[in-house]
Amino acid sequence: MFELTSSPIDPAALRTRLAAPEAGALTVFEGRVRNHHQGRPVARLEYEAFDEMARLEGEAIVAESENIHAGATVLCVHRTGTLQIGEIAVWIGVASAHRQTGFAACRHVIEELKLRLPIWKKEHHPDGASEWVNCTVEAGSNAAGDDTHARQVALPEIGPGGQARLAAARVLIVGLGGLGCPAALYLAGSGIGHLTLVDGGKVERSNLARQILFTTAEIGGPKVVAAAARLRLHHPAGRISAHAGDLTAGNARTLVAGQDVVLDCSDNFATRFVLHDACLALGVPLVQAAVHRFEGTLDVFQRGAGGCLHCLWPGRPAAELDFAGNCDGAPVFGPAVGVLGVMQAAEAIKLVLGLEGLAPRQTRLVNLLDGTQLAIERPVRADCPVCARLDQLKAATEQLAASDAALLIDAADVSALGLSARVIFLTEPGDDLSAPGMARTVPAHDLARLRELAADGPLVLACRHGLRSAALARMLRAEGMGAVRALAGGNPPAGLQSFLR
Amino acid sequence: MSLPSRKLQVRFFAVLREQAGCSSVTVESFALTAAALYAELQSRFPALTFPAALLRVSLNERYADMTAPLSAGDRIVFIPPVAGG
């Protein structure tokens, strides 16, 4: 339960409310007003809450904590108004059967409150001056004197410019098991600006040996929620989004769109093919790893490089490969998933920085038993129905573009067309119109509507692969509507997402 | 006239290593293709039961077809699908 109050907090009364015969532990945190802040004396504090929102967010944090830390009952009260030195500003009590759950839940609640609760405080100094300060933890990489990333910024290959690229990057991690946990920690540690975590599973005791984001306190709770909380502690300046569900054919494109790099840390071929196809279609680089006992494979797939997952396993249904190679519950050497997960993080960071990574079309076989590594070149199949077809679409688009130099426009140049320019995404039957960024869409067959829009001023057409939009733009331009262009490269280059948002 | 046997270096990856009981072996073989070599290895290692149809083979550090011809001194890796995470 979460409460806001303008009266002084009475800890004794709150402790009584948490009394329960089955609770062997009561863990309490009291946040008090102290007489100094960042070297300046403080005389008193004034707390102001965005009331309704603070209550909702507080309730959500408490519910989330009780959900992750099974068996915890949480009571949290936050003060508002003017507080003197030594008064309690926030009180958190957790009743649980055992102490581990209590400490973990209590820590979780206070850290999340500091990050998320819309409450501000005004410091009154003894000299009469006062200022509003945010209650949240001090922002990491932006705060002056923050040396979180100093040791990697000192690398000539990274430097301040590279660090800024990492801070602006978005990375998607699918699967938070033995591969995903270490990968996520190293990516958060490197300062990636926005990590999105996807996993529908719950934390089990048998995960703990190698899924190093989780502790005994989180057993039974959703993996992504526990992982996000842990990563926020590690990297408070970064944004962490959690998707508590499996990756499916229905949501893959939505999750992949707008990402700079995607990590496949899943444990089955069905998921691997769906994710691979979404990455290939949207042109987002994919770093994939898989492990069997002491050995693992590492691959980087990039559109245009050839040698996709279908070239490697032509015509093989995922179910057949899963039957032969699936590991669910299979024996596994903990450090093997650890090493491969960290290698995935390294490849992802290098892709963001534009550093030399794994050679294109290379499978790396890693053996933790005899300590060997082997690099094998993946085949390119000219008749591949997946990657070769995408290349054909690209070639056809280029052929169209060659007939009209002004036909295609890069996402980065759209803003130069002026404020009246509109980007329209051409939809096809079956497209998920509720997906983010799908606000301004027109069905590709609605020529009358497109002519209407084209008559209104600068118009940029976009579509999934870039061919249909180029063909339609070419047609409208031939009809005399010279202000119509097509977005180069299909949807969505990362830039398009920000136009549509 | 009979064909001479050739020395080939074979590595087994993942589940194949467990079934064969070793990670690498050098063999004298008359096999003309990777598929024929795998069949020969299956009779030498009776526990090597993984179906050939679901295998990938690497020939001198490049993925190849199971029908690719073999030459003396070739380095061959048999690779099953791996999906664990």
Sketch out chain B's domains with CATH numbers: 6-79 (3.10.20.30)
Residue bearing the bigger pLDDT, A386 or A309: A309
Do residues A213 and A185 touch, judged by C-beta distance below 8 A?
yes
User: What's the pLDDT at A293?
Assistant: 93
Chain A: give the shortest CA distance to residue B41, in Å: 19
- Asked whether residue A58 falls in the same domain as residue A102, the answer is yes
Cα B12-B13-B15 angle, rounded to 5 deg: 100
> What gap in Å lies between CA A358 and CA A349, rounded to an integer?
12
Domain membership flag for residue A245: yes
Q: Of the listed A106, A135, A384, A463, which one is catalytic?
A: A463
Per-residue CA distances from A156 to A153, A160, A357, A386, A476 (Å): 7, 9, 16, 39, 49
Domain membership flag for residue A423: yes
CATH of the domain at A420: 3.40.250.10
> What gap in Å lies between CA A121 and CA A82, rounded to an integer?
9
- Asked whether residue A342 falls in the same domain as residue A413, the answer is no
Domain membership flag for residue A141: no
CA dihedral B63, A319, A255, A349 (to 10 degrees): -30
Domain membership flag for residue A484: yes
- Asked whether residue A239 falls in the same domain as residue A321, the answer is yes
> What gap in Å lies between CA A11 and CA A1, rounded to an integer?
15
- Asked whether residue A127 falls in the same domain as residue A162, the answer is no
- Asked whether residue A169 falls in the same domain as residue A305, the answer is yes
A316 and B54 within 8 Å at the Cβ level: the answer is: yes
Residue at token pair 């190698």:
A210
**ipTM of predicted complex:** 0.88
Please provide residue A257's backbone torsions phi and psi, each rounded to the nearest 5 degrees. Answer: -60, 130
Domain membership flag for residue A417: yes
- The mean pLDDT of B28-50, rounded to a whole number, is 95
Q: How many CB atoms lie under 10 A from the CB of residue A269?
A: 26
Q: Worst-scoring range by mean pLDDT, A30-34, A290-294, A407-411?
A: A407-411
Domain final position from A134, A162, A184:
A134
Cα A339-B51-B85 angle, rounded to 5 deg: 20
Angle between helices A334-353 and A159-168 (to 10 degrees): 110
User: What's the pLDDT at A375?
Assistant: 96
- Asked whether residue A347 falls in the same domain as residue A420, the answer is no
Q: Which structural domain, as residue segments, surrounds residue A415? A: 387-500
Longest CA–CA span in chain A (Å) reads 81
Chain B residue numbers with beta carbons less than 8 Å from the beta carbon of A370 are 23
> What gap in Å lies between CA A161 and CA A126, rounded to an integer?
42
Instruction: Identify which of B11, B13, B85 has the shortest CB distance to residue A265.
Output: B85
Per the annotation, the verdict on A327 as an active-site residue is: yes
Domain membership flag for residue A145: no
Instruction: Identify which of B61, B63, B80 has the shortest CB distance to residue A325.
Output: B80
Q: With a CB-CB cutoff of 8 Å, which residues 279-318 of chain A face chain B?
A: 289-293, 295-297, 312-313, 316
Pairing between strand A73-79 and A2-5? parallel
Measured between its terminal Cα atoms, the distance across chain B in Å is 52
Instruction: Identify which of A267, A321, A367 has the shortest CB distance to residue B81.
Output: A321
Pairing between strand A119-124 and A88-96? unpaired
- Asked whether residue A190 falls in the same domain as residue A337, the answer is yes
**A387 touching chain B per CB within 8 A:** no
- Asked whether residue A116 falls in the same domain as residue A160, the answer is no
**B49 touching chain A per CB within 8 A:** no
- Asked whether residue A296 falls in the same domain as residue A435, the answer is no
User: What's the pLDDT at A377?
Assistant: 95
- Asked whether residue A358 falls in the same domain as residue A218, the answer is yes
Strand order in the sheet with A484-487: A408-409, A484-487, A459-462, A422-427, A441-443
User: What's the pLDDT at A51?
Assistant: 81
What are the pLDDT digits (tens) for A492-501?
443 344 444 3
SS3 content of chain A, % helix, strand, coil (to 5): 40, 25, 40
Helical spans, DSSP H, in A154-222:
159-168, 180-190
> What gap in Å lies between CA A81 and CA A387, rounded to an integer?
62
Domain final position from A319, A344, A377:
A377
Closest CA to B37 of B82, B80, B77: B77
Helical spans, DSSP H, in A316-405:
318-325, 334-353, 387-402
- Asked whether residue A128 falls in the same domain as residue A156, the answer is no
Mean pLDDT of chain B: 93
Residue at token pair 């402790």:
A15
Among A376, A378, A383, most B C-beta atoms within 10 A, so best to mutate, is: A376
What are the pLDDT digits (tens) for A400-438?
888 888 888 887 787 788 777 788 888 776 665 555 444
- Asked whether residue A176 falls in the same domain as residue A287, the answer is yes
B15 and A370 within 8 Å at the Cβ level: the answer is: no
**A267 touching chain B per CB within 8 A:** yes
Domain final position from A321, A355, A377:
A377
User: What's the pLDDT at A67?
Assistant: 81
| Residue in A with minimal Cα distance to B49 | A324
A291 and B80 within 8 Å at the Cβ level: the answer is: no
A293 and B18 within 8 Å at the Cβ level: the answer is: yes
* Amino acid found at B63: Y
Q: What is the CA radius of gyration of chain B?
A: 12
Say whether pLDDT at A134 is over 80: no
Domain membership flag for residue A186: yes
What are the pLDDT digits (tens) for A223-276?
999 999 999 988 888 999 999 999 998 889 889 988 999 999 999 999 999 999
What are the pLDDT digits (tens) for A190-224?
999 999 999 999 999 999 999 999 999 899 999 99
B83 and A269 within 8 Å at the Cβ level: the answer is: yes
Tally of CA atoms within 13 A in the half-sphere of A281 that contains its CB: 17
* Amino acid found at A417: L
Do residues A495 and A419 touch, judged by C-beta distance below 8 A?
no
Domain membership flag for residue A382: no
Cα A250-A254-A257 angle, rounded to 5 deg: 140
**B4 touching chain A per CB within 8 A:** no
**B79 touching chain A per CB within 8 A:** yes
Please give the distance of CA A155 from its chain centroid, rounded to a whole number: 26
Domain count, chain A: 3
* Amino acid found at A257: A
* Amino acid found at B52: A
Per-residue CA distances from A319 to A6, A249, A324, A478, B54 (Å): 60, 15, 9, 48, 12
pLDDT band at A29 (very low <50, low <70, confident <90, very high): very high
User: What's the pLDDT at A138?
Assistant: 41
Give the rounded percent of residues in chain A with a pLDDT score beyond 90. 49
Chain A: give the shortest CA distance to residue B80, in Å: 7
User: What's the pLDDT at A144?
Assistant: 56
Q: With a CB-CB cutoff of 8 Å, which residues 129-168 of chain A face chain B?
A: none
Do residues A206 and A219 touch, judged by C-beta distance below 8 A?
no
Say whether pLDDT at A37 is over 50: yes
CATH of the domain at A30: 3.90.1170.40
Beta bridge partners of A90: A31, A78
- The mean pLDDT of A137-163, rounded to a whole number, is 77
Among A288, A295, A327, A369, most B C-beta atoms within 10 A, so best to mutate, is: A295
Do residues A42 and A124 touch, judged by C-beta distance below 8 A?
yes
User: What's the pLDDT at A112?
Assistant: 82
Chain B residue numbers with beta carbons less than 8 Å from the beta carbon of A322 are 81, 83
A376 and B62 within 8 Å at the Cβ level: the answer is: yes
